[in-house]
Amino acid sequence: MDRFLASVERRAFQMAMVSVRNRDDALDVVQDAMTQLATRYSHKDPQEWRPIFYRILQNKALDLHRKRKVQRRVMGWLGSAGNDATEREQANPIDQVPAAQSMAPHSQHEQGRTVEAISEALGQLPPRQQQAFMLRCWEGMSTRETSAAMKCTEGSVKTHYSRALHSLRSELGGQQDESF
């Protein structure tokens, strides 16, 4: 179990970060997902852990979105502006990926801009498209595995993934087509 969790930790954090857009919340989401997998599903076959883990991760992120929505409504009713500075943090760990030491500064800058543009475009996608894209593209999951993680049909996965690619390509223009 420890090796599995270590192998998915970084990507899970990146996925949570894109979804919840707050470093502390993303860390909480990943930690909660890992804890739930370890306590409730450690008896399962290790081949099943990956789709189960990503399903738990996405559910935790959706739960956080729902919680925030309720908090915004309550704060609106109470007349509070809700201007918590930590909620506005947009530090993205994707931006902090160390570039190869042999890269020229200009190349490092361009890579950073590309990662930032992709991260921003991903943040604009609907949650199901984000989920399908990240599981299929970032995690390299098959359509069947993604279907299990998202609890939907393989056809739905294909539709969400296709729409995500179309949206990302149109948002990013032709400059990142080779990335997808």
Mean per-residue pLDDT over the chain, rounded: 80
- CA–CA gap between residue 75 and residue 52 (Å, rounded): 34
Taking only the tens place, the pLDDT of each residue in 58-114 is: 999 988 888 887 777 655 555 544 444 443 343 444 444 454 445 667 666 777 777
Residue 109 to residue 67: CA distance in whole angstroms: 37
Q: What is the DSSP letter of 151?
A: T
Question: Which structural domain, as residue segments, surrounds residue 158?
Answer: 106-172
What does the pLDDT average to over 22-32?
Answer: 94
% pLDDT > 90, the chain: 47
Among 30, 121, 126, 25, smallest CA distance to 67 is for 25
CB 95 within 8 A of CB 116: yes
Among 64, 80, 96, which residue terminates a domain? 80
Q: Who's near 61: CB < 8 A, 6+ residues apart?
A: 16, 19, 20, 29, 127
101 occurs within a structural domain: no
Give the pLDDT confidence score for residue 82 in this predicted structure.
41
Query: Residue 88 falls within a domain, yes or no?
Result: no
CATH number at residue 125: 1.10.10.10
In a domain, 179, yes or no: no
Which amino acid belongs to residue 131? Q
Tell me whether residue 157 is in a domain. Answer: yes
Same domain, 70 and 112: no
Asked if residue 90 is part of any domain, the answer here is no
Domain count, the chain: 2
Burial class of residue 66 in the structure, from the number of CB atoms within 10 Å of its CB (0-12 exposed, 13-18 middle, 19+ buried) = exposed
Per-residue pLDDT, 83: 44
The Cα-based distances of 133 to 130, 148, 166 in angstroms read: 5, 14, 11
Residue 22's identity, in one-letter code, is N
Q: Are residues 9 and 75 in the same domain?
A: yes
Q: What is the CATH number of the domain that holds 39?
A: 1.10.1740
What pLDDT digit, counting tens, does each position of 144-154 carry? 999 999 999 99
Q: Please give the Cα distance from 57 to 51 (Å, whole number).
A: 10
Query: pLDDT exceeding 70 applies to what percent of the chain?
Result: 76
